[in-house]
Amino acid sequence: MNQTELILIVVFMAVVTYLPRMLPLVLLRDINMPPFLKTCLQFVPYAILGALIFPGALYSTGSIPTAIAGICGSALLAYLRLNLVIVVVGGILCAYLFGYTGT
Amino acid sequence: MDKSETTIKTAVEQCATALADSSEESSTFFQGLKAGLPIAIGYLPIAVAFGLLARSAGLSLFIAVLMSLLVFAGASQFIAVNLIALGTQAWEIVLTTLVINLRHFLMSASLSQRLAVSLAKPWRSLLAFGITDETFTVASLQSQSILRGPFILGLNFIAYASWVLGSGLGVLLAGGLPASLQASMGITLYAMFIGLLVPSLRKGWPVVIVVVAAVVLQSVMNWVPALSALATGWKLVLSASLAAMLGAALYPQGVEN
């Protein structure tokens, strides 16, 4: 792909990313949503996180065993209520060290 | 204790208060910066990983940083770079980005209920640019019912600055890191999602049920041959909205059990 095409992709990505962020915030200013919809919106962050993590995380390192090591490592650290930075770095290290010792 | 240690300690404390219910009113730009500091720290390795990935996909520093400057959306940037590396057609990359980021529509709708009605449209348009999974989560978990514009601006700004700087850093670092470590960094974004999700599971059964439903739906769409042809973003939006609707149907009282 050439540079011009890449710039165009980035610009169009920016437009289609900004619109869903902007439209409700600007247009729904005075609208009161029905209770069912409001409850749905409350659950949305958790549903999105679940669907983002699995099964996508399995394919994130190029090798399923190292990905599982990383997932388990970060889940354990998160379960222990450690800081997010430690969870992230710990997950990377688990995947890296497991791959290092496994091969 | 020197200054940097104090900063890190403040960040850790801030993370704790941002996630728990803080009784202190947060309204200024500076308070927003403080509340966003843990996000900025969390974004840095992810942004570096993005820069590394962009570099390994053959993108220039300019394109990688431009993408972070203009798009500012982690998941879709990672996926877009993967698709670019695979030689996917441009329109398909843009469409995938749109579909992945449709979830921001829901977050923006939710946030629209928390801003003062008097907050003008230009302000709202500016704040909208910085909505991410993480800034949205931290803003939403603030205890006061009305969120102030400068506060959200500060929160978004520090997260944005970290994302853009980290992306550039990642591209520049790319040559120096071993390939096996670069591959392991693919897990970064997921580790962050896991780090955000796992503590939320303690909120009670409604959250657990919704998460399990979303995971099962997403796995079915991924592995059942007839459905796996759907674009990644559609799968995500379908799984998440169905799981959220299931949650709202089973637990009309909402997230708090």
CA distance B107 to B244: 13
Restricting to A residues 34-93, those with a Cβ less than 8 Å away from any Cβ of B are 35-36, 38-57, 60-63, 66-67, 70-71, 74-75, 77-79, 81, 83-85, 87-93
Of A12, A14, A89, the CB nearest to B45: A89
> Looking at chain B from residue 221 to 240, which residues have their Cβ under 8 Å from any Cβ of chain A?
222-223, 235-236, 239-240
- What gap in Å lies between CA A31 and CA A23, rounded to an integer? 13
pLDDT at B229: 80
Q: What is the pLDDT of residue B10?
A: 53
Chain B residues within an 8 Å CB radius of A70: 184, 187, 190-191
Of B183, B190, B245, the CB nearest to A40: B245
Confidence bin at B218 (pLDDT 50/70/90): very high
User: In this structure, are B185 and B84 located in the same domain?
Assistant: yes
Closest Cα to residue A25, out of B157, B160, B136, B248?
B136
Q: In this structure, what token pair is assigned to residue A33?
A: 């949503």
CB–CB contact B190 A71 (8 Å): yes
pLDDT, tens digit, for every residue of B75-99?
789 889 988 887 888 888 898 888 7
Cβ atoms of B44 and B166 within 8 Å: the answer is yes
For residue A36, give the amino acid letter.
F
Measure Cα distances from A99 to A63, A70, A88, B73 in Å: 9, 10, 17, 29
Q: CA–CA separation, B133 vs A50, rounded Å? A: 13
Within 8 A by CB and 6+ apart from A17, the residues are B71, B72, B73, B76, B97, B98, B101, B104
CA dihedral B121, B160, B168, A56 (to 10 degrees): -100
pLDDT tier for residue B65 given thresholds of 50, 70 and 90: very high
Report how far residue A7's alpha carbon sits from residue A12's, in angstroms, rounded to the nearest whole number: 9
pLDDT at B227: 84
**How many domains are contained in chain B?**
2
Could you list the residue range(s) of the whole structural domain that residue B58 is in?
Answer: 3-18+26-193
Question: What's the domain range around A59?
Answer: 32-102
Chain A residues in contact with B200 by the CB 8 A cut-off are 46, 49
- Do B142 and B74 lie in a common domain? yes
- In-domain check, residue A98: yes
Question: Which residue on chain B is closest to A68 by alpha carbon?
Answer: B187
Same domain, B149 and B43: yes
Residue B128 has, within 13 A of its CA and on its CB side, a CA count of 31
User: How far is A99 from chain B, CA to nearest CA, in Å?
Assistant: 8
More confident residue, A48 or B11: A48
Note down pLDDT in tens along chain A; length 103 residues. Answer: 788 999 999 999 999 999 999 999 999 877 777 889 888 877 877 887 888 788 888 988 888 999 999 999 999 999 998 887 788 889 989 998 998 775 5
- Judge if B226 and B185 occupy the same domain: no
Number of structural domains (chain A) is: 1
Residue in A closest to B105 by C-alpha: A20
Predicted confidence at residue B233, as pLDDT, reads 67
Confidence band for B1, pLDDT divided at 50, 70 and 90 = very low
Q: Where among B193, B223, B246 does a domain terminate?
A: B193
CA distance B252 to B185: 39
A48 lies in a domain?
A: yes
B198 in a structural domain: no
ipTM: 0.83
Spatial CA neighbour of B173 closest among B39, B81, B47: B47
Place B21 in a pLDDT band, splitting at 50, 70 and 90: very low
Residue A18 lies inside a defined structural domain of this protein: no
B84 and B170 both lie in a single domain: yes
Q: Is residue B199 part of a domain?
A: no
Q: Residue B105 carries which side chain, given as an amino acid letter?
A: F
pTM: 0.70
Residues B110 and B11 in one domain: yes
Query: Residue B112: what residue type?
Result: S
> Is residue A11 domain-resident?
no
Looking at the structure, tell me whether residues B213 and B155 fall in a common domain: no
Single out the residue in B141, B166, B193 at which a domain terminates. B193
- For residues B161 and B212, state if they share a domain: no
pLDDT-based confidence at B120, cuts 50/70/90?
very high
More confident residue, A83 or B104: B104
The answer on B187 and B61 residing in a single domain is yes
Inside any domain, residue B139:
yes
